[in-house]
Amino acid sequence: MADFTFPGAVDVRGDLTIRGSILPAITRTQFAQNDAQVYQIPLSSAKVWDAAQNSLPSAGAADDLGLETGTWGTDVPHISTGDLKAAGATTRYCLFELVLPPEYVAGQTVTLRISSGMETTVSDTTSTIDVEAYLASRDGTVDGADICETDAQSNNSLTFAGLSFTFSATNCDPGDQLFVRIAAAVNDAATGTAVISTIGAVELLLDTQG
């Protein structure tokens, strides 16, 4: 039996120290929801899109983006198309496998934000970033259609910007696997200096509780 029973509200103006258990236990749904919490995705986790057992090459080639290291103390690893000056229309890809964490609120916001821009010179025609995302089933197949609702966005600027891609989260639950393919498409006709589309960061923005 409880030593004290308070029939109404309790207003504690100072510190509250609890030396035993809180009963009943507090569930995640009793916490305030925190919207658009940022989860950094390590760029080193990117894979070859059609050979997911392989990490990205050190330089972009064929239809694969590259994971470039740069110079220690000056650069940090970043994902790049490599130099596509005067290469015409070229698209290169990478794959991320993402898992929604336990604190994600089912059916709430899932946004992929990509920091991207051009190195050295902008394309004389276009440069874009596009995203496709699929929920995974437990049988080696996708669960439904592409859930990315945002069209390709231009990154054809020497100033890097955060490009946000919204996912349809109706069927998203904590623990779900997302397979995300990022496409960097550059169309350059005749630029004489390096034209390099680069990704500097990839983040998930999620609504969470607990």
Residue 55 in any domain: the answer is: yes
Q: Is 59 inside any structural domain?
A: yes
Q: Alpha-carbon distance 99 to 173, whole Å? A: 10
> What does the pLDDT read at residue 34?
87
| Beta strand spans in the chain (E) | 33-41, 47-48, 51-55, 66-68, 78-80, 88-99, 110-120, 126-135, 153-154, 161-166, 177-188, 195-209
The domain of 38 spans: 32-209
Which pLDDT does position 178 carry in this prediction? 98
Does residue 131 lie in a domain region?
A: yes
Please give the tally of structural domains in the chain: 1
Closest CA to 128 of 151, 110, 158: 151
Residue 62 has a CB neighbour count (10 Å cut-off) of 8
pLDDT in tens, 10-44: 878 888 787 766 767 666 777 788 899 999 999 99
Domain assignment of residue 94, yes or no: yes
pLDDT of residue 6: 72
Residue at 17 is within a domain:
no
> What digits encode the pLDDT tens for the residues 164-181?
999 999 999 999 999 999
- Who contacts 102 (Cβ-Cβ below 8 Å, separation ≥6)? 28, 174, 175, 210
Distance, first Cα to last Cα, the chain: 30
The answer to the question of residue 10 being in a domain is no
> Is this structure's pTM higher than 0.85?
yes
d(CA 97, CA 63): 19
DSSP 26: P
> Which CATH number fits the domain that encloses residue 64?
2.60.120.260
- Run means of pLDDT, 10 residues per run, the chain, 210 residues: 70 80 70 90 98 97 97 96 98 98 97 98 98 97 97 98 98 98 97 96 96
Quick check: is 177 in a domain? Answer: yes
Is residue 60 in some structural domain? yes
